[in-house]
């Protein structure tokens, strides 16, 4: 117990300087993280109207573009090359991609494409995702599904994916 009593009391000014120094280091670290390169890691989510309105500001930025595949716009190129238009009803953006589209991809379906707007006015996508409703209702016990409605819901899918009429 005599060892503890022999230690000098910590001065208040020394404690204040330590707290001030710790706060300054934390503030500098926060500023570095906030400003230093975080913008390069952000992915903006825009619709066609916002993307068209942004003009040259959108060129080169990594963007997720969401909308619906415009009717009559899908064009298959060589290999996995694909071009189509994404629309939100107000504006349309032409998209080119080399990624293989998901099986549900078709005209009128919601899509999200991740990529970059190019200076020539097209959006180059590295990633193509379909957006679909999350509503599912299993048939009640003994209920027979309406095959006509089921077939209509698959319009645009290839014959191999379409359910067969029993």
- Which range has the worst mean pLDDT, 23-27, 31-35, 64-68, 131-135? 131-135
Torsion of CA 119, 125, 129, 132, to 10 degrees: 20
Q: Convert the pLDDT of each residue in 33-50 to its tens digit.
A: 777 666 566 667 889 999
Distance of CA 17 to the CA centre of its chain: 46
Give dist(CA 59, CA 116) in Å, integer: 7
Tell me what the mean pLDDT of segment 132-145 comes to: 73
Strands 123-131 and 44-46: unpaired
DSSP 8-state secondary structure symbol assigned to residue 69: E
pLDDT over 60 at 166, yes or no:
no
Report field, pTM of the whole predicted structure over 0.75: no
Q: Convert the pLDDT of each residue in 92-113 to its tens digit.
A: 999 999 988 888 888 888 999 9
DSSP 8-state secondary structure symbol assigned to residue 87: E
């Amino acid at each position: 117990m005599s060892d503890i009593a022999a230690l000098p009391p910590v001065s208040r000014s020394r404690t204040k300087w330590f707290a001030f120094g710790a706060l300054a280091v934390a503030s500098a670290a926060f500023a570095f993280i906030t400003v230093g390169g975080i913008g390069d890691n952000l992915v903006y989510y825009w619709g066609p109207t916002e993307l068209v309105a942004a003009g040259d500001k959108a060129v080169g930025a990594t963007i997720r573009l969401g909308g619906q595949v415009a009717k009559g716009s899908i064009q298959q190129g060589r290999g996995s090359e694909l071009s189509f238009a994404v629309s939100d009803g107000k504006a349309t953006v032409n998209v080119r991609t080399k990624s293989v589209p998901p099986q549900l991809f078709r005209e009128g379906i919601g899509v999200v494409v991740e990529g970059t707007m190019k200076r020539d006015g097209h959006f180059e996508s590295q990633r193509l995702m379909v957006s679909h409703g999350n509503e599912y209702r299993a048939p009640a016990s003994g209920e027979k599904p309406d095959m006509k409605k089921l077939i209509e819901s698959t319009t645009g899918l290839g014959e191999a994916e379409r359910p067969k009429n029993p």
